[in-house]
Amino acid sequence: MSAKTLYEKIIASHTIRELDNEGHILLYIDRSILNEYTSPQAFSGLRENQRGVRHPENILLNIDHVNPTRPQRDIHMTDDGGQLQVDYFRKNAADFGIELFDVLDQRQGIEHVVAHEQGLVMPGMVIAAGDSHTTTYGAFGALGFGIGTSEIEHLLATQTLVYRTLKTLRVTVTGVLPYACTAKDIILALLEQISASGATGYAIEFDGETIAALSMEGRMTLCNMAVEAGARGAIIAPDEKTFAYIAGKPQMPDGELWQQALNEWQGLRSDPAARFDKTVVIDCRDLEPKVTWGISPDQTGTITDCIPDPEHESDLVKQQSMKKALQYMGLKPGTPLRDIHITHAFIGSCTNGRIEDLRSAAAVIQGRKIARHVRGIIVPGSTQVRLQAEKEGLAEIFIQAGFEWRQSGCSMCLAMNEDVLAPGDRCASGTNRNFPGRQGAGARTHLMSPAMVAAAAIAGHLEDVRILLNSGGQHGSL
């Protein structure tokens, strides 16, 4: 048998049959998590065609995109469109017998935070869902990818998908992560290196000493944002850290079954002789905290940099997109990134709304106040994350510093509820997308790690978190 990559092994174990010679297969899908925003037409399709859901027990419905995150949890949405979507979602859950995590459910949150909290993601699984950041599950050695509405309908009816196999891209990350750098900085560095389309057509496998040293939450941040490079899948081979993290989660097997599963999972790694279609190496030794200055996540710099000058860019296509970005962002070439003033600071999302993210932000914020002109908002990734942060005293640190402390949801990551920026607002954001209008029409987004958002909130402008960590008594590490 020829040597295989982990991706190829997972695909092989889920292939029902090959459909042609061009890489199309019928793929078995273990689980799916659907949200109120991308699933309505799929359910309408089932209803029109009088089809049922093949395996309702393998599907989870979870409200996260349009719900308000005001401190008082309310089951009502703020706009009629959102209310319609949620009402229909609730009806679909009831009519098709699918479990729903509604807004008052203690298990609710952003789907990519909820899934692993509940133990729904296991190494070796294939999870397809109506959301592009389903790649997050790669952190556990599962293949996760986003699908469109008609595919959701197919999946619901058959628990399978017609799938085109991808090429494989190995991203080896080496070096000890420098002080104050996080998984977010690694993924922004990768985007800068390979561009926002550098992984289109590929499934990524991350490996290397830096990945081995990353926490599970850091690995999730990395796999989550791999989709911003175009990857429809980003896997990390499961290791002892993975098994320790998932053990005991509500839906994980235990006892004899857990032992059997562990034995299986040990084999989930690429064979040493496996061939990848492409390899990229990211050397972290000189990494510094990163921020985006443009309207694509690959328009990224180091916080100590200045805005680049498009006139110095020889690639004309790139030059044009830089000009467009600077125009939208209201920025001039040569401006130090640290001189960019912000109006808002947002920490949340499925990229950086987990407990470790909140801890790293709190380490910077503790004992400080956010700048007077900055509105700071923190939206925990899930209700469980919120409760944990409240228990640990993090919420109190944020509130004392002047942040709004919210309920969980996607919120200002994509501004589909009432958390919308106004034209001209500029936000330091721990999220994943910065295209025009993402956080509100005419609003400007700078992506960075949660610790960097915290630093910007305090300083009132984009700031090097290392400066804050080095000054002021009790501070010192993330």
Annotated binding site for [4Fe-4S] cluster: 350, 410, 413
Among ligand SF4, ligand IPM, none, residue 38 binds (CB under 5-8 Å by kind): ligand IPM
* Residue 126 sits in the site that holds ligand SF4 (CB under 6 A): no
SS3 290: strand
Among 131, 419, 463, 464, binds ligand SF4 (CB under 6 A): 131
Q: Which residue is nearest to ligand IPM (CB)?
A: 132
* Residue 63 sits in the site that holds ligand SF4 (CB under 6 A): no
* Residue 185 sits in the site that holds ligand SF4 (CB under 6 A): no
Window contacting ligand SF4 (CB under 6 A); options: 92-100, 201-209, 410-418, 456-464: 410-418
Site string for ligand IPM, 81-110 (x = CB under 6 A): ------------------------------
Among ligand IPM, ligand SF4, none, residue 110 binds (CB under 5-8 Å by kind): ligand SF4
* Residue 410 sits in the site that holds ligand SF4 (CB under 6 A): yes
CA distances from 455 to 150, 234, 362, 365, 427 (A): 43, 30, 10, 7, 13
Q: How far apart are CA 419 and CA 440, in angstroms?
A: 9
* Residue 413 sits in the site that holds ligand SF4 (CB under 6 A): yes
107 alpha-carbon distance from chain centroid: 18
62 alpha-carbon distance from chain centroid: 16
The minimum distance between CB 287 and ligand IPM, in angstroms, equals: 25
The minimum distance between CB 133 and ligand IPM, in angstroms, equals: 5
Among 14, 31, 133, 338, binds ligand SF4 (CB under 6 A): 133
Among ligand SF4, ligand IPM, none, residue 349 binds (CB under 5-8 Å by kind): ligand SF4
Q: Closer CB to ligand IPM, residue 85 or residue 299?
A: 85
* Residue 85 sits in the site that holds ligand SF4 (CB under 6 A): no
* Residue 31 sits in the site that holds ligand IPM (CB under 6 A): no
Report the b/e string of 198-232 with b at 16+ CB within 10 A.
bbeebbbbbbbebbeebebbbbbbbbbbbbbbbbb
Q: Where are the beta strands (DSSP E) in 50-166?
A: 59-62, 99-101, 126-129, 143-146, 160-164
Q: Closer CB to ligand IPM, residue 5 or residue 431?
A: 431
Q: Closer CB to ligand IPM, residue 33 or residue 122?
A: 33
How many Cβ atoms from other residues are within 10 Å of residue 330's Cβ?
11
Among 7, 29, 37, 378, binds ligand IPM (CB under 6 A): 37
Q: How far apart are CA 381 and CA 365, in angstroms?
A: 19
3: amino acid identity, one letter: A
* Residue 65 sits in the site that holds ligand IPM (CB under 6 A): yes
* Residue 432 sits in the site that holds ligand SF4 (CB under 6 A): yes
* Residue 349 sits in the site that holds ligand SF4 (CB under 6 A): yes
* Residue 232 sits in the site that holds ligand IPM (CB under 6 A): no
Q: Where are the beta strands (DSSP E) in 265-367?
A: 278-283, 290-292, 300-302, 344-347
Q: Closer CB to ligand IPM, residue 116 or residue 133?
A: 133
Phi, psi of 296 (to 5 degrees): -140, 145
Among ligand SF4, ligand IPM, none, residue 146 binds (CB under 5-8 Å by kind): ligand IPM
Decide: residue 415, CB within 10 A, 0-12 exposed, 13-18 middle, 19+ buried: middle
Place of tokens 């401190």: 71
Window contacting ligand SF4 (CB under 6 A); options: 119-127, 271-279, 369-377, 408-416: 408-416
63 alpha-carbon distance from chain centroid: 16
Site string for ligand IPM, 258-297 (x = CB under 6 A): ----------------------------------------
Q: Tokens in use for 145?
A: 């990818």
Q: How far apart are CA 120 and CA 253, in angstroms?
A: 10
* Residue 447 sits in the site that holds ligand SF4 (CB under 6 A): no
- Helix (H) or strand (E) holding 74, with range, is none
Q: Closer CB to ligand IPM, residue 396 or residue 418?
A: 418
CA distances from 12 to 8, 23, 25, 239, 276 (A): 6, 12, 10, 21, 16
The answer to whether 282 and 193 have CB atoms below 8 angstroms apart is yes
- Residues lying near ligand SF4 in the complex (CB under 6 A) are found at 64-65, 110, 112, 131, 133, 349-350, 410, 413-414, 432
